[in-house]
Amino acid sequence: MTKKKDIEILLEKYFEGTTSGQEEQILRTYFTGSEVSEDLAVYRPIFSYLDAEIKNCSTAKPHPRYISLKRFTWPAVAAIFLLMLGFTAYYRFNNTTGDGSYVIINGEKFSDVRLAQQQAQKAFEDVSFSKDEITDNLIPEDMKEGLE
């Protein structure tokens, strides 16, 4: 009888929202047991449901842990930057456009500065022009005949 009285007090507290976790556990244990007083049996479904839900929650698989991608942003930026730098360095190395003086003849590279200067001089002469060439380009053929 004392137990029933205690349960009634706990119920009252429960519906007022002032029960502790432990007191709610007592209520759930009572209402899921076999000795539920007939006049309190009306509350059995509520506490049975709650008890079942709590058990489900405790046995449910934990939520997967999501890892924020934000934390990888800066390392990713740095990695991309280094990759770009690496690719460019590799590309430049293979295309021999780096610093220094050299000459490539028929695909073979020579670092002899004198040879490079000699070949540079030759190329420069190839694009240079003489007075005759200027005259040739500026004066039309028919006019040249007249001049001669």
Partner 1 sequence: MKKRKKYIIMLLTLFFAINLSAQEGLRIADVFRQYEKKHGTTMVQLSSEVLGSYNMTLYKSLSFQPSSTGKLGIDWVTECIELDKKKAKKIKETLLDGELHSGYYQLSQVQKGINRFILFKVNEKKKATLIYIEGSLDSAELVSMLFNKK
* Interface residues toward partner 1, by CB under 8 A: 77, 81, 84-85, 88, 95-97, 99-107, 113, 116-117, 119-120, 122-130, 133, 137
Q: How far is the CB of 69 from partner 1 (least distance, A)?
A: 16
Q: How far is the CB of 62 from partner 1 (least distance, A)?
A: 34
Nearer to partner 1, 55 or 92 (CB): 92
Structure tokens at 55: 């058990």
Beta bridge partners of 110: 103
Structure tokens at 33: 């047991």
Q: What is the CA 148 to chain-centroid distance, rounded?
A: 77
Nearer to partner 1, 41 or 104 (CB): 104
Tell me how far apart the alpha carbons of residues 57 and 50 are, in angstroms, rounded to a whole number: 11
